[in-house]
Amino acid sequence: MVGLVRIGRPEYTGENRCWPCTIVNAVVLGLVSVLVGMVQPDIGVFVVVLGAVVIWTRGYLIPYTPTFAPRLVEWFPVDPFHTRRAGDSLGSLGSDGVGDASGEQVLRSLLDAGVVVADGDRLTLAERFETAWGERMDELAEATGEELAEAARDASSVATSARSQDGSGRSFVVLSDDAGNVSWLDRPVAIAETAAAAVLGSTPLPANRRDVAAHAVCAFLERCPACDHEIVEADARSCCGGADYSATETPPRVLACPDCDVRFFTLDVT
């Protein structure tokens, strides 16, 4: 038991387990055990049992799986939810000039529109906006998946279609535009950004900045709109390094909900 604890890798097991990677390792283990079993049946059984224990406690058997598995999954997608881009937002569609605005330009637009208020070096949300945003988030938190998808499409300046999609134990709002771009929003993100975009529609903020600005104001989010857990600063690395970052890269810091395992905003680390 001590040995099992030592080889355990909690970052690749439990809720963090990457099932496509587990399946790949299990298939390889099965093939090896069959080949060994053809020569020595007893050893073949021992190999499959030992290998299964290692995969279950460590997350993988083949060395360096966290390094190559994300690329393997991208070429051979076992699960479309696993290969989606983490951190998608309303502004991810990037059409109609929305994606061209820099962070500084978006911040300046929010300041000019009175959404963000500067107090010396400290930036805060205007009280009126913060209150309206919170009220709209509370309303959307009670919405069904289809209702939320419809609200997100209406709030977006570029989305032409939206649907609710469940998979891998998560709920998403999937937005598309005329150019064929697709953005997958985790339900908590969809609630926060759809509510923000809707409220921003009543401000002087230019329409083509509204989507990316709805994401930007999530930097001020203090509690998750879906579960009410405190938003914390964490690493952006997802399962097995994720499709966004390899196991050898240092991921940026993000603001995320640990209960929902969802990121709301990527911090500027430059």
**Do residues 71 and 94 both lie within one domain?**
no
Is 183 part of any domain? yes
In this prediction, residue 149 carries a pLDDT of: 95
What is the DSSP secondary structure assignment for residue 152, as one 8-state letter? H
Can you give the pTM of this predicted structure?
0.67
Measured at the CA of 225, the angle between CA 175 and CA 211, to 5 degrees, comes to 40
Final residue before a domain boundary, out of 175, 200, 220 = 220
Joined tokens for residue 119? 């107090």
SS3 assignment, position 24: helix
> Is residue 155 situated within a structural domain?
yes
Sign of CA dihedral 75, 79, 83, 88: positive
* 116 shares a domain with 187: yes
171 lies in the same domain as 199: yes
Same domain, 113 and 70: no
Residues 60 and 169 in one domain: no
Q: For the chain, what is the domain count?
A: 2
Query: Residues 171, 49: one domain?
Result: no
Outline where 88-227 has alpha helix (H): 103-112, 127-141, 145-155, 187-200, 210-216
Q: Does one domain contain both 150 and 181?
A: yes
C-alpha–C-alpha distance, residues 228 and 77, integer Å? 33
Task: Provide the domain limits for residue 162.
Answer: 90-220
pLDDT tens profile 218-231:
999 999 999 999 99
Cα distances (angstroms) measured from residue 91 to each of 19, 87, 163, 230, 266: 29, 11, 17, 24, 13
Neighbours of 1 (CB within 10 A): 5
CA separation for the pair 136, 140 (Å, rounded): 6
Does residue 21 contact residue 69 with C-beta atoms inside 8 Å? yes
Q: Are residues 100 and 205 in the same domain?
A: yes
Interatomic CA distance for residues 157 and 152, integer angstroms: 10
Rounded CA-CA distance 260/231 in Å is 10
Secondary structure element (H or E) that encloses residue 182, with its range: strand 182-186
Q: Which residues of the chain have pLDDT under 50?
A: 1-6, 74, 76-84, 95-99, 239-243, 270
Report pLDDT for 223.
96
Q: Are residues 69 and 95 in the same domain?
A: no
Same domain, yes or no: 113 and 197: yes
